[in-house]
Structure 1
Amino acid sequence: MTSPTNLLVLPTLSLYIHIPWCVRKCPYCDFNSHATQDGETIPEASYIKALLSDLAQELTSVSGRTLHSVFIGGGTPSLMSAKGIGTILNFVKANIACEDDMEVTLEANPGTFEQAKFAGFLEQGVNRLSIGVQSFDNDCLHALGRIHDASQAKLAIAKAQTLGFNRINLDLMHGLPGQTVQQGLMDLQQGLAFGTDHLSWYQLTIEPNTQFHNSPPNLPDEDILCDIQDQGQLLIEAAGLSQYEVSAYSKPGSQARHNLNYWQFGDYIGVGAGAHGKVSFLKTGRMQVERRVKLRQPKAYMAAISPLASSHYVTPQELKLEFFMNALRLEKGVLNSSYLAQTGQSLTSVESAIFSARQAGLMMPDRLQASPLGWRFLNDLLHYFE
């Protein structure tokens, strides 16, 4: 007989690189981002040196594994030079095996778009852009504290397509301060008109430790939010994009590979100020998962010999909840066998929770997948696995 421990496999490995600077801190943003002062340039050379040292230390724990995807996020990574991004990517490719068609995504702010620089990003190996449009309505953009206007957003998308970026995600938000149903749908229509292969479309939420949390804006009521969501779904489907995750839509075969790896409970190295990582190890027939967090403040990060702020091995109870928090965000969920393969725990350990969730109509039979009702009320479904 095959031992259950023989079914354990190390998951797919990705790399997240955090660039912590932005031109202006948006009032809704709770990410580790730091606004530059007027006229200030980011310390690119010093930061890249720290990044590469951080990455070299991380790579010792994933020796022999192959990299599936790279995501450069922030902050505003497009503040970096193309040469700087190339230095990072060249180091990556020289120090770990990479998949032949590895996805390399760069987050970009339309307010920092320069044609020559973005051509350089493409030349240096970035093959996918995630453009933070958020809205095409200038009043909404102003309320969100964005540094670009609608015309800059449209120009950035069109120029990126002309340059040869075949894979582009548009980041759009709805439920914005003072937004009507018509405005929300107009944003969506303008974004879909560009025909990009991927869309992230999600409702604005007010997070702790943000300006909006301290001074809440006037947000649309529930009826308006529901109308935008329901009518927006129809517009997206009519444009040929399918929903595969709570806030992600794509053309066939164009899902975000990096984000899919998160939701399928894959591993990822996290480098950069405040970056988080998850790395699995097979030890004595058991799966152990370690989470790592880097120092948040850029100056402290760049000065540190080891920028690791904290690390801990995930407990079996934490592992259970983390697995389902990710897997159940996917429209099709995951196979039953994924639970053992990626947590090292038998599915029997969560059978009672799954049974109860199915009895409540929140999960589908025969697969670790939320039902349409469970997907709509995902937080209620996750309570079964706490």
Structure 2
Amino acid sequence: MNFMAPPLSLYVHIPWCIKKCPYCDFNSHAVKSGAPESAYVNALLDDLHCDVERFAINRPIQTIFIGGGTPSLFSPESIAKLLAGIKKSITIAEDAEITLEANPGTFESAKFNEFNQLGINRLSIGVQSFHDRLLTTLGRVHSGQEAVKAAEIAHQAGFSNFNLDLMFGLPDATPEESINDIKTAIQLTPAHISFYQLTLEPNTLFHKYPPKLPDDETTYLIQKQCQELLVENGYRQYEISAYAKSGKQCRHNINYWQFGDYIGIGAGAHGKLSLSLPENIIRTSKPKKPELYLADPSKRTEQLISLQELPLEFLMNQLRLRQGFSLTGFTAKTGLMPSDMQPGLLNCLEKNLIECVDNHYRCSEKGWDFLDSILQNFIN
């Protein structure tokens, strides 16, 4: 079969933040006296150059996501240097989506006006809640009022496309507080809302000292009520935890979920590149500790995705999407034949966990709540 490489994205990881939150399992590190911005941007650009050369990448970048940590702590000058350096190493598509993650506590109107002028065309704002009591429990460094102000500043700075991150299932949260969080977010008219459940991840303070969380039934009812509010107000659910106005889905994350390719640069960043199908799809990872990464940004680990792992790797991404996947898409992205996943697929169809609509296989309404169980059918 002819090999056509999938769309290519770029993820940039900036690992520093003001304070490490007790639920956060990302590669983030609290910084007290300022991050080494200049040295780190230089390392990022060296890292990108190494990947481009090592894998002979000549496809244009369709999306860029600058995540963390708290990337908005970096100055506009550092972000400008980063974007200019990226353009020297690899082509960026004219209509590229370029996202910057930000926390409300770092919002300054002049700074974000500059980010907008630099070509950042999407923000992802880590609100989590608008209630000060819950924000304190989560270890956040901003207030509810600062979160509201952040969205207002995003509008004023010219960002027609921004996301608000919200969490539910929070310690000691009442259903009314969670519903009010969604109502407040809707009133701020973001183009996109991410709404996801707090989970106690390993290697976090919350995992070591678990807080009291709402019971499963309460959490489920909160989720359903909030989902109804979002849909009633024009936010379409296109992924398990993502809701967007028409045409405002996060293109970067969709590329992940559609098993597209991405370069990952920065401390602890991961990448996935299809060099040929199906025998040469690799994952890359960079050193997690910022000091080790800064010492040698050319260092990376590479791992082939085995033929046995490919169906699961594909499905654990694609089945997060409401639209699901087609059999031709499975073959195009993996190089495998539909028969390679047929036993698991048939089992899920028989149990009404997966349905086929317009030649696309997707989670049924029943299956939507049991994705982990569905994926068990495709292990090996």
Is there any run of 5+ residues in structure 1 with no aligned partner, and where?
A: none
Offset of 1:368 from its aligned partner?
2.6
* 1:32–1:305 Cα change, 3 Å: closer
Partner of 2:5: 10
Partner Cα distance (1:162, 1:119) in 2: 8
2:279 and 2:307 in contact (8 A); partners too: no
Aligned residue number for residue 45 of structure 1: 38
8 Å CA contact 1:83–1:124 kept in 2: the answer is: no
TM-score for the superposition, normalised by structure 2: 0.97
1:160 Cα offset (Å): 1.0
Partner Cα distance (2:354, 2:122) in 1 = 34
Contact 1:22 1:75 in 2 (8 A): yes
Letter in 1 for 2:371: L
Please tell me whether the aligned partners of residues 267 and 286 of structure 2 are also in contact (alpha carbons under 8 angstroms): yes
Note if 1:351 corresponds to 2:342: yes
User: Structure 1 residue 364: deviation in Å?
Assistant: 1.0
Task: Kindly provide the CA deviation profile for residues 216-237 of structure 1, in whole angstroms up to 9, marking residues without a partner as x.
Answer: 1111112220121111111001
Match of 2:285 in 1: 293
Q: State the one-letter code of the partner of 1:307.
A: K
Q: CA deviation at 1:292?
A: 0.6
2:368 counterpart residue number: 375
The alpha carbon displacement at 1:94 in A equals: 2.5
The one-character-per-residue Cα deviations of 1:87-135 (angstroms, maximum 9, x if unpaired) are: 1111222322222110000000001111111111111111000000000
Give matches, 1:145-224, under 5 Å. Answer: 145-224=139-218
| C-alpha contact 2:44 2:297 (8 A) present in aligned 1 | no
Q: Cα gap change, 1:62/1:158 in structure 2, threshold over 3 Å: closer, same or farther? A: farther
Q: Which amino acid aligns with 2:314?
A: F
Distance in 1 separating the partners of 2:366 and 2:171 = 28
Distance 2:183 2:252 in 1: 26
1:82 maps to 76
Matches within 5 A, 1:335-350: 335-350=326-341
Tell me, yes or no, if the aligned pair for 2:48 and 2:89 is still in contact at 8 Å: no
Flag the 1:286–1:145 CA change in 2: closer, same or farther, 3 A.
Answer: closer
Using the size of structure 1 for normalisation, the TM-score is 0.96
The 5 Å alignment of 1:1-386 reads 5-6=1-2, 8-37=3-32, 40-60=33-53, 61-282=55-276, 286-304=278-296, 306-308=298-300, 310-365=301-356, 366-386=359-379
**Distance in 2 separating the partners of 1:236 and 1:330:** 17
Maintained 8 Å contact 2:280/2:304: yes
| Contact 1:19 1:72 (8 Å CA) reproduced | yes
Give the Cα–Cα distance (whole angstroms) in 1 for the partners of residues 297 and 363 of structure 2.
44
| Large movers: runs of 4+ above 3 Å | none
SS in structure 2 at match of 1:316: coil
Structure 1 residue 316 displacement after superposition: 0.9
Deviations 1:329-353 (A, max 9, x none): 0001122111111111111111111
CA RMSD of aligned residues (A): 1.1
Q: Cα distance, 1:373 vs. partner?
A: 1.2
Q: 1:114 to 1:305 in 2, by over 3 A?
A: closer
- How far the C-alpha of 1:286 sits from its partner, in A, is 4.5
Distance change in 2, residues 1:326/1:217 (3 Å)? same
State the distance in 2 between where 1:166 and 1:62 align.
35
* Structure 1 residue 305, shift from structure 2 partner: 5.2
Deviations 1:262-319 (A, max 9, x none): 000000000000000001112xx745211011000101100115231x2111101111
Deviation of 1:64 after TM superposition, in Å, equals 2.0
Identify which range, 147-156 or 310-319, moves more after superposition.
310-319
Q: Is the CA contact (8 Å cut-off) linking 2:105 and 2:142 kept in structure 1?
A: yes
Q: CA deviation at 1:177?
A: 0.7
1:72 positional shift:
0.3
Q: CA deviation at 1:206?
A: 0.4
Residues 129 and 165 of structure 1 are in contact (CA less than 8 Å); yes or no, is this contact kept in structure 2? yes
Tell me, which stretches of 5 or more residues in structure 2 are unaligned?
none
